[in-house]
Amino acid sequence: MKLLEGKVAIVTGGSRDIGRSCAVKLGEAGCRVVVNYNSNRTAAGETVSAVEAAGSKAIAIKGDMTQKADVESLVAETIKAYNDKIHILVNNVGGLVARKNLAEMDEKFFNHVMALNVNSTFLATQATVPHMPVGGSIINLASQAGRDGGGGGASAYSASKGAVITFTRSMAKELGPKGIRCNALCPGMIDTTFHDIFTPDAVRRSVEASVPLRRQGHPDDCADLVVYLASDKSSYVTGASIDINGGMSFS
C-alpha cells in the first residue's frame, strides 16, 4: 500500500515548478490530486498528465486564490469530484512579483504581494479546514526570505513569507486539538522559474559555489519533504518551518 493511498490533496499553484513536483510526488504516494491554477490551463493540464502517468487521479481547477469566491469554489469542486474529505492542502501560491525598494513601492504593490502570499494561504486554509478529517495536514510554502529578509528589493515578499511562517505556528496551535497538523517549508535557492526571472545568473552560480551541498535545490527536493509532512510518518510534527537550502543558512 502506498504511503498516502486514497487521500485527497489540493495543491494551489500546481501548474509548474514546486507546485507541479508536489502534485506529482503526492500522486506517486497514492493521492487523488487537485491541481489549482489561475491562468495557464495548458501547464496545469501537463501537471495532471504527469500525475496520471504516476498512476493516480488528478483534475485541474481554475481559481484565483486571493479571491474568497474562487477559493470556496475550488474546495466545493474538489469535494464533488472525489466525494471525500480533503486530507492534504499544499498552499503553494505566491511570488515576489517584482524587486522594489522602499522608495519605489506604493501601497497597491505592497498589498498585492501580501494578498498573493498571505491572503491566499489564509483563505485556502479557512475554506479547507471544515472538510478535513483527523489526521489532516496543511503544508505552507514560506521562504528563507521570511527568515533573513531576502535579497535587495524583496522586503514586501520577505514580510509576507514571514507572516506565512507565523500563521503556520498559529494554525498548529489552533488546529492541533482537531487532529490537523500545519507545517511550512522555507526553501532557499531552488531551480525554478522564480529565480529564472528574479535572480541574476551570476548570483545563482555564486550560491551554488558557497552552499555546503554545492548545488541549487530541485523542486523535487521540496516535494519529497511535502510528502513526508503530509503523511503519518510526521504525525508528531506540527508548527515547524523547515529549512531546505542545502546548508546555506541555519535556523
Give catalytic residues, as residue numbers.
Answer: 157
Concatenated DSSP letters for 190-211?
A: B-SHHHHHHS-HHHHHHHHHHS
Which residue in this structure is represented by grid cell 503556520?
A: 168
Query: CB under 8 Å to 146, separation ≥6 — which residues?
Result: 158, 160, 161, 162, 163, 164, 165, 186, 241
Rg value, the chain, Cα:
17
Q: Which three cell numbers stand for residue 84?
A: 471525500
Q: Which three cell numbers stand for residue 25?
A: 510526488
How far is it, in rounded angstroms, from Cα 248 to Cα 208? Answer: 9
How far is it, in rounded angstroms, from Cα 161 to Cα 136? Answer: 23
How far is it, in rounded angstroms, from Cα 168 to Cα 241? Answer: 8
Please answer whether residues 21 and 46 qualify as being in contact, where contact means their C-beta atoms are separated by less than 8 angstroms. Answer: no
